[in-house]
Structure 1
């Protein structure tokens, strides 16, 4: 019995370590610590994180599947590049998911939901004024996840989970320029949701995604 408990503990620790390495690897890519096109070897990452190569290898497999890393011939793992095609594809999906979520949220939100969304808007405004753009990027993703949760559609929540790592990545690149406008657009979206006006919320979400896409594409070279 003791041996069984020990083996479970070791397994749990291993999973926790893998998840920690994965989260930190994602964070460094999103924040630009590892630049687009930069080579990432298992040995280097193991040294950076102070771990063995095994959890690094597992984390690289996950971020490759998520699209943060590409495996190239003769180079190995490199940080993916946010080219025009990748950005357009991301925003195309965002428009479909977020407009649907906004309309449903307007129909289903209660007072507690509205307050949660307003609190996130307030936190983002404070972070923007403080020029803490890393925090603004986190709050941007938190806000959109919250709208999807308020929509009450579990399929939207499941489908969008991986996407928001990339939303964070794209937003972080141009956060200093985009943050004030994004904050105002979020407030308009919450006002429509609070009014229970599904068409207005849907349109506010569409205009927000459209503005975000224009900003993102304006700061990237074409592919």
Structure 2
């Protein structure tokens, strides 16, 4: 019997299935935190999470390490892992970084945007408005982050894209907490940002992004 050519054999990496399971647990754990299913200060034991997800404790343990490093979970003496609290300092720090990244991205996007990219932003705004009318605030929070990620993609700056990737999980978390009251204002601010980018006006786009982040920060800190 002829032996199969090595190039025709499927490539499997050591531990591929384990990594995939860990990533699934990580994504679900992060989602439940940012959507408020696991609330601030709530204790998250490995046993409890393993039961919630229907997995062994190993991928849960690894996922907890990641969300701790990301700032979603804290390890406290005698309590173990608990969902982190969005205190004022954490929120201010987040918006300080957002302002720097998003104003830079907006100006670059105005210079580099394609018609397809503009259409993508417009579609995300329409989807967000639909979610807001349906009071689907989980979806609205995800679309809010998608809009800002899309602006960063339009900037064409791969460093901005890389640096901001982890940040938008926290943006989602903060936005979701006050989505019901923030939604109409956020939509109007997104439209102004889109219009400036579409017009190719870098200065106006930078200003629109700055004002949007300032308004979002004020809403989050007053909530």
TM score, norm. by length of structure 1 = 0.94
* Structure 1 position 111 matched with structure 2 position 118: no
Alpha-carbon distance in structure 2 between the residues aligned to 1:6 and 1:126: 43
SS in 2 for 1:196: coil
Question: 1:104-145: per-residue Cα shift (whole Å, max 9, x none)?
Answer: 000000111111111111111111111111110000000000
More displaced stretch, 57-66 vs 127-136 = 127-136
Aligned 1:145-164 pairs, distance under 5 A: 145-164=149-168
Partner of 2:219: 215
2:194 to 168, 182, 190: 190
Partner of 1:129: 133
Partner of 1:73: 77
Deviation at 1:26, TM superposition (A): 0.4
Partner of 1:90: 94
* Structure 1 position 44 matched with structure 2 position 55: no
1:140 to 144, 148, 158: 144
* Structure 1 position 206 matched with structure 2 position 185: no
* Structure 1 position 178 matched with structure 2 position 161: no
SS in 1 for 2:12: helix
Alpha-carbon distance in structure 2 between the residues aligned to 1:7 and 1:108: 39
Alpha-carbon distance in structure 2 between the residues aligned to 1:145 and 1:36: 26
SS in 2 for 1:18: helix
Alpha-carbon distance in structure 2 between the residues aligned to 1:100 and 1:210: 15
Deviation at 1:8, TM superposition (A): 3.2
Alpha-carbon distance in structure 2 between the residues aligned to 1:49 and 1:10: 23
> What 5-or-longer segments of structure 1 have no aligned partner?
none
SS in 1 for 2:15: helix
Partner of 1:34: 38
Alpha-carbon distance in structure 1 between the residues aligned to 2:18 and 2:100: 38
Give the number of equivalent residue pairs: 217
Distance change in 2, residues 1:6/1:122 (3 Å): closer
> What 5-or-longer segments of structure 2 have no aligned partner?
none
Structure with max Cα Rg:
2
Alpha-carbon distance in structure 2 between the residues aligned to 1:40 and 1:7: 36
